[in-house]
Amino acid sequence: MTATPPSELISVVSKSLDSAEKARAVAERGRADAEARVRELEQRLASEQEGRLALLTQQLEGLRLQNAELEAAQFLGRGGGEASPRTAKAKEGSAEAAELDGWLGSLNLARYTPALVGQGYDALEFLLSASDGEVAELATAAGMKLPHAQKFQREVALLKRARAPPGPEPEPEPAA
């Protein structure tokens, strides 16, 4: 048995180390490439999700508007609803107050009819001509609890849009 000279052993070990280093470098590049691809796919997915969310939000708003239009048509088609005892006390003999009370009743907010009539809003048309700020102030002046005030403001806005003449579709707001 002949012994391998140390210089040959050093050469073999050196080549093995070089090969191992090259393999590690290739593996590291592959891992970096894979991580970059994962980041790229995550960004693309996030962008697609934002787009889908914006589309769904736009569709939901359209459905809410259609619902408000249908409710308004149904409400107005039945003569504005019947006056509740609250309306009769607040404004006897007023068809406008009966319409207002009927609309508020359809929202389960009829308890605020006397307060609204007391503030001078004895007809639905007065609400529809009020600015968003005036509607908010009116809700506060009528003593509406926060969830009722929010619902009242949202429904007045929907009714305004339902009664507005058709026009160009508003631009969707960019997603934040």
Q: Give the model's pLDDT for residue 88.
A: 44
Q: Return the domain boundaries, the chain.
A: 13-63, 78-163
pLDDT tens-digit series, residues 13-68: 888 888 889 989 988 998 999 999 999 999 999 888 988 888 888 887 777 777 77
53 alpha-carbon distance from chain centroid: 9
Q: Give the model's pLDDT for residue 155.
A: 92
Say whether pLDDT at 99 is over 70: yes
Say whether pLDDT at 93 is over 60: no
The contacts found for 90-94 with CB under 8 angstroms, 24 or more apart, are 90/114, 90/117, 90/118, 90/122, 91/117, 91/122, 94/122, 94/123
Q: What is the rounded average pLDDT of the residues 76-102?
A: 58
How far is it, in rounded angstroms, from Cα 57 to Cα 63?
10
The fold of 78-163 is DNA polymerase; domain 1 (1.10.150)
Q: Give the model's pLDDT for residue 141.
A: 93
> CB of 155 within 8 A of CB of 67?
no
Percent of the chain with pLDDT over 90: 30
Say whether pLDDT at 81 is over 60: no
